[in-house]
Amino acid sequence: MSSKQSDRREFLKRSVALASGLGLGAATQPVLGQLPGPEAHQHGTDEIVAYGKRSRFVTSVRIPHGGRHSPDTFGLDFHIAAPLQDSVGVITPSSLHYMGTTRGSFIPDIDPDKHHLMIHGMVDNPLVFTMADLKRMPSVTRLHFIECAGNRSSSRMTTVQETHGMTSCAEWTGVLLSTLLKEAGVHEGADWIVAEGVEEVKGASSLPMTKAMDDCLVCYAMNGEAVRPQQGFPLRLLVPGFEGIFNVKWLRRIKVVDQYYMTYNDYGHLTQDPANAALGYQIGPKSVITYPSGGQQLPGHGFYEVSGLAWSGGGAVSRVEVSTDGGRTWVDAEIRGTAHPMAHTRFTFQWNWDGTECELQSRCTDDVGQVQPSRAQVAEFWNIPAGQPFSVKGQDNSIQPWRVASDGSVHNAIA
């Protein structure tokens, strides 16, 4: 017998003995990749098998937005902001997606088997759809952001979660609203719809028919699973690029009408003034640097990859620029991946910090040529005198500056 054969036979014997030992002593001997002791039991529960659980070392959480606790004393849920400072890529996990409510809301507990969507009003055939009916129809899956009008820069806020955490981006699946409206047969002169959700305050929003027939979705899925209850389970309206309040959750009724109706949701959000309406409906090009951003700490001078998110209600992001000198000079950032229409787009910028105090800014341009304005340009547009409170009607998509101090600490640079 050759020495090679002898060595191989000895190796197989040892392997069999080791396997037997592991089988007999599985309760006491740790296996590669398994935590010993109580931690192994804790992480081997049915919970992590049945649905999945993130690592205990990952601590990103949402926070109440606007200074109001959620839920409040009466159990009402209010705005909750997503942790953009910890985000990577463009998709917000469903569990971290921001939540906006209609002036406080109890989250409805809806049985999908009993839920219906009615389409009526100025149509040839009033229709009532069950969830099963909707899931039988041709579906589409699209990446879109949603943003609350309260998502805006302020000197009172410290972190990017506080200034911009009321926006998130997800993969949405459902039926085009135009498919349902065509099935019902819209009358001539029916220029608006009113979409209503299941809420104690009867949350509803008015939308132009042109938008309803364009790209709106009636969604039953989000990020590959059923829409979460906080996001409208079992059915929500998705209005790409429009202010968040138009994206009616817990959708149950759509009425086709010939004029806009001032609903509970629309009050203070809907106007016929052209300048205000243009900024109230569609969200302008916007971007924010998420790293480094307020509250973060750079360990020292040297190389950093500046990273952030850009988006626009007018279409896809076509360009993002970064300034490291407070907006005096600009350099093109790199757009990561594909820039989808009305979706968050990740951008990065390679930066060598010399350790001196500086100010970081980002500026977005969308594919229809709209450019994100500076804070000074927004103030000029709305005739806001110097020293007066910065009050902007509609959406505020002004540039957010971050000041990097010489010790590496990062701060909101709005005076």
Convert the pLDDT of each residue in 142-176 to its tens digit.
Answer: 999 999 988 988 889 999 999 999 999 999 999 99
For residue 311, give the H/E element and its range. strand 302-311
Band of pLDDT at residue 100, cut at 50, 70 and 90: confident
Residue 263 or 356, more confident: 356
In this predicted structure, the answer to whether residue 214 has a pLDDT above a threshold of 60 is: yes
For residue 40, what pLDDT is reported? 47
- C-alpha 374/C-alpha 359 separation (Å) is 14
Main-chain dihedrals φ then ψ at residue 237, nearest 5 degrees: -95, 135
Query: By CB neighbour count within 10 A (0-12 exposed, 13-18 middle, 19+ buried), where does 296 fall?
Result: middle
143 phi, psi to nearest 5 deg: -95, 120
pLDDT digit string, tens, across residues 357-381: 999 999 999 999 999 999 999 888 8
**Interacting residues of 9 by C-beta distance below 8 A, sequence separation 6+:** none
User: Tokens 């899956």 — which residue?
Assistant: 141
The structural domains of the chain, ordered by start, are 3-50 (no CATH), 66-270 (3.90.420.10), 286-412 (2.60.40.650)
> Could you tell me if 115 and 209 are in contact, meaning their C-beta atoms sit under 8 angstroms apart?
no
| Stronger pLDDT, 337 or 379, i.e. the higher one | 337
Contact (Cβ atoms closer than 8 angstroms) between residue 169 and residue 143 = yes
pLDDT in tens, 219-276: 999 999 999 999 999 999 999 999 898 999 999 999 999 988 766 655 555 555 655 5
pLDDT at 199: 76
Question: What is the average per-residue pLDDT within 304-333?
Answer: 98
Q: What is the 3-state secondary structure (H, E, C) of 143-174?
A: EEEEECCCCCCCCCCCCHHHHHCCEEEEEEEE
- Cβ neighbours, 10 Å, residue 304: 16
Structure tokens at 28: 């006491």
- Which residues lie across from 171 on neighbouring strands? 143
Answer whether residue 66 shows pLDDT above 60: yes
The yes-or-no verdict on residue 18 having pLDDT over 50 is no
Give the mean pLDDT of the chain: 86
